[in-house]
Amino acid sequence: MTDPVSLDPLADRPLLVEQVRLEATGVVSLTLVDPGGGELPPWEPGAHIDLRLPSGAVRQYSLCGPPGDPRSYTVAVLREEHGRGGSVEVHDTALVGRTLRARGPRNHFALVEAEHYLFLAGGIGVTPILAMVRRAAAVGASWELYYGGRTRDTMAFTDVLSAIGAGRVHVVPQDESGLLPVAGLVGAAPPGAAVYCCGPEGMVRAVTEVCAATMRDDALHIERFGAPAAGRPAEERAAPPGAARFTVELRRSGVTVEVPPDRTLLDVVREAVPEVGFSCEEGYCGSCETRVLAGEPEHHDTVLSDEERERGDTMMICVGRSASELLTLDL
Ligand code: FES
């Protein structure tokens, strides 16, 4: 459950990097604690935090430590040489002893009640799934995990996962056993199973297609690392041809501004509130999530569920617009 404070794009807190640990080839984990030794806000499996790196870049990392630990958060970071630079910064910077700013935890990938859980993890996508597996095992749920990766040495947390659920954890390195057979796995899941998938876009797309073809759409819960490969580019969604002008009231700032058709809502908001949080600007990371106080948001993100869109009380302002002439935001 997302609490009101963690939904505030202006609120953050300091976190001290207590430990950096090599978990697998190319993967380090960070243990983050309150600098004063206090307790950290609670979280549920599937939650993530936004971490502001020393360069100022903001990145999202799933919490993968024990969910009941009030003293520390653990995140894990895969080094991506051809990524946006955040992961290389984490790997190449001496972070132990430094204090970083963080927002959250927030959760759009929460565990629902189910008779059985089929967890499908690809690469570093294992991080939210690790927290889910800990919880499923702790409450005695029925579950199974299939964890794919390029090679065994690049796959983090295999030991801890096997210790949690030997017999239920299936580690599938691609160079030994090929890709995860997602169609067969989803097809064989018992009725009433919830399917949780986090991994690279190809894997998420394959699982989404299988679930759609087998009428298991409602059972599927996914988390993406990036924008979906299909669909219109983010800039077109945020300022599509023929988009209407609308007015946005930033209630806390006491400012009302116009958003013209050719500009994104985030662009306009940043002029009035430069400290507003954002990261991907493509509608998939959740970093710019903002509470809607009045008006009808027009959603173009891939974070919110259908139910959350329907409620209309929150939106991603990097790609979202307004279906009403006036939109009032909690900024
Ligand atoms: S900045 Fe990532 S969803 Fe808006």
- For residue 59, being part of any structural domain is answered with yes
Question: Hey, whose CA ends up nearest to atom 3 of ligand 1?
Answer: 283
CA of 278 to the centre of ligand 1 (A): 5
CA of 83 to the centre of ligand 1 (A): 16
Tell me the average pLDDT across 101-112. Answer: 92
| Overall domain count for the chain | 3
Among 84, 103, 279, the mutation site with the greatest number of ligand 1 atoms within 8 A of its Cβ is: 279
Q: What's 46's domain CATH number?
A: 2.40.30.10
- For residue 312, being part of any structural domain is answered with yes
- Asked which of 105, 129, 156 is the last residue of a domain, the reply is 105
CA of 56 to the centre of ligand 1 (A): 16
Quick one: pLDDT at residue 241?
Answer: 74
Percent of the residues in the chain that have a pLDDT greater than 90, as a whole number: 79
Q: Which domain holds residue 98?
A: 5-105
Question: Whats the size of the chain, residue-wise?
Answer: 331
CA of 301 to the centre of ligand 1 (A): 8
pLDDT, tens digit (0-9, with 9 covering 90-100), for 53-81: 999 999 999 999 998 899 999 999 999 99
- For residue 229, being part of any structural domain is answered with no
Among 52, 224, 282, 329, the mutation site with the greatest number of ligand 1 atoms within 8 A of its Cβ is: 282
- For residue 45, being part of any structural domain is answered with yes
> Using CA atoms, how far apart are residues 49 and 238, in angstroms rounded to an integer?
24
Quick one: pLDDT at residue 229?
Answer: 60
- For residue 57, being part of any structural domain is answered with yes
Exposed e or buried b per residue across 30-59, where buried means at least 16 C-beta atoms within 10 angstroms of its C-beta? bbbbbeeeeebeebbbbbbbbbbbeeeebb
Q: Flag whether pLDDT at 5 surpasses 60.
A: no
- Asked which of 223, 251, 268 is the last residue of a domain, the reply is 223
Quick one: pLDDT at residue 275?
Answer: 87
- For residue 270, being part of any structural domain is answered with yes
The whole-chain average pLDDT of the chain stands at 92
Structure tokens at 283: 């509608």
Structure tokens at 3: 């609490």
- For residue 228, being part of any structural domain is answered with no
Tell me, yes or no, whether 208 and 303 share the same domain.
no
Laid out side by side, the sheet with 58-62 consists of 58-62, 48-52, 99-106, 13-24, 27-33, 72-78
pLDDT, tens digit (0-9, with 9 covering 90-100), for 116-165: 999 999 999 999 999 999 999 999 999 999 999 999 999 999 999 999 99
- Asked which of 105, 127, 157 is the last residue of a domain, the reply is 105
Residues with CB under 6 A from ligand 1: 278-281, 283-288, 301, 303, 316, 318
Question: Per-residue confidence at 318, pLDDT binned at 50, 70, 90?
Answer: very high
Quick one: pLDDT at residue 218?
Answer: 86
CA of 287 to the centre of ligand 1 (A): 5
Rounded to 5 degrees, what angle do the CA atoms 247, 253, 259 make? 20
- For residue 207, being part of any structural domain is answered with yes
Integer CA distances (angstroms), 223 to 212, 226, 233, 245, 330, in order: 16, 9, 19, 32, 26
Which phi and psi (to 5°) does residue 178 adopt?
80, -175
Q: What's 273's domain CATH number?
A: 3.10.20.30
pLDDT, tens digit (0-9, with 9 covering 90-100), for 263-309: 999 999 999 999 898 888 999 888 899 999 999 999 999 899 888 99
Q: What's 166's domain CATH number?
A: 3.40.50.80
